[in-house]
Amino acid sequence: MLIESTRLQRFETLIFQELAKRKKEKIAKGETVIDLSIGSPDQPAPSFIKKALIEAIEKPSAFQYTLTGLPSFNEAVASFYKRKYGVSIDPSTEVMQTMGSQDALVHLPLAFMNEGDVVLLPDPGYTAYEAAFKIAGATIYPMPLLEENHFLPDLSAIPESVAKKAKMMVLNFPGNPVPVLAPKSFYEQVVHFAKEHEILVVHDFAYSELIFEGKEAVSFLSIPDAKDVGIECNSLSKSFNMAGCRVGYIIGNETILTQFSKLKSHLDYGVFEPIQHAATTALLHGDDFLVENNRLYEERRNVLVNGLQKIGWNVATPDATMFVWAKIPATMNSVQFTFDLLEQTGVVVTPGSAFGTHGEGYVRIALVERKELLAEAVQRISHCFTLH
């Protein structure tokens, strides 16, 4: 009988499995569930992307290995960043295609971290970050994201002894689960800090295009000298509703990308060519869709947040992403709150503690249902659950 590896034993069972089990039980009883727990777009990719995919799949080369990103894809990434963020990217040396941004985020530690190396991670943060560095055997130092600091890491609170040992730092703004924007001034501090302590910065920018009320996200690479210390990971999953296509990219420091390519060459044989063509079309011709998609999520946000506020749940209004980071009553922990909410209302959210110690006291709510269902979720909560 096979025994799991010590590497696998580093992992705890995530709350998502228990949530899925409870949800199935309610559905099996004939009850309806409104699932706002997983950040997966419920809308399809727009028709112009589908058309590009269909046309590309008829090409004779469509089913061959691609190995790397097509030059046209890399050029489209560079064009997109120049147009959207004013960032100049060399498509031949500063772009690497990945199978979604998580492909990059999970494998980067294997390329650059040794057992015991220190990484600075946001807490709360996307669960894949911690998992990736545990696989690599790294030592995790959490950077608390606290309301009193506008949910930004306080770099001055990191002990000098830790900063000297740190090899990597992961950031995610606008973030998951905390949907806040980071200002340019914060990234300037990060670049200074990283240069001083020789730290590689990895910025997860997967929600870069879901920004509301005319605000704008700041690309980490738009900061002077950012390429000297870091890279940015991005994806078409959330921006263009292409989550199942698994296509994304890393941009930035040429040396880091060259070194990472050594590992990537042993992991896969590239993204399906028709998907690459569809992604290229999205990056070059998708600006109008991005505006439309933003409007959809902003309307959903308004329905949910305004509705919850009216019934007495004073949740904060996010500036970006497909999430609401909602503070819960101090008398309950987030897991208890989540399961009580599910049992009494059939509304599924995610407990903040799933994302780290400093996520306790919050739940994450995903805007992944149409407005009518979000309004129904508010009604269910108002009738069946005490929030005061």
pLDDT at 102: 94
What residue spans of 86-182 are helical by DSSP H?
101-112, 127-135, 160-165
Span 320-331, average pLDDT: 95
pLDDT at 212: 97
266-285 pLDDT tens trace: 999 999 999 999 999 999 99
List CB contacts of 168: < 8 A, sequence separation 6 or more: 108, 109, 112, 113, 117, 119, 120, 138, 199, 200, 201, 202
Q: Is the pTM of this model over 0.85?
A: yes
User: What's the half-sphere exposure (Cβ side, CA atoms, 13 Å) at 294?
Assistant: 20
Span 45-61, average pLDDT: 97
Q: What pLDDT band is residue 346 in, cutting at 50, 70 and 90?
A: very high
Residue 235, beta-bridge partner list: 248
Give the CATH fold of the 47-286 domain. Answer: Aspartate Aminotransferase; domain 2 (3.40.640)
- Does the pLDDT value for residue 386 go beyond 70? no
130-163 pLDDT tens trace: 999 999 999 999 999 999 999 999 999 999 999 9
Q: What pLDDT band is residue 16 in, cutting at 50, 70 and 90?
A: confident
pLDDT at 133: 97
Listed by start position, the domains of the chain span 8-44+288-384, 47-286
pLDDT at 17: 85
User: Do the beta carbons of residue 115 and residue 7 sit within 8 Å?
Assistant: no
- What's the CATH code, domain 8-44+288-384? 3.90.1150.10
3-state SS string over 338-376?
HHHHHHHHCEECEEHHHHCHHHCCEEEEECCCCHHHHHH
Burial 217-251 (b: 16+ CB within 10 A, else e): bbbbbbbeebbebbbbbbbbbbbbbbbebbbbbbb
pLDDT at 387: 57
- Does the pLDDT value for residue 314 go beyond 60? yes
330 or 226: which leads in pLDDT: 226
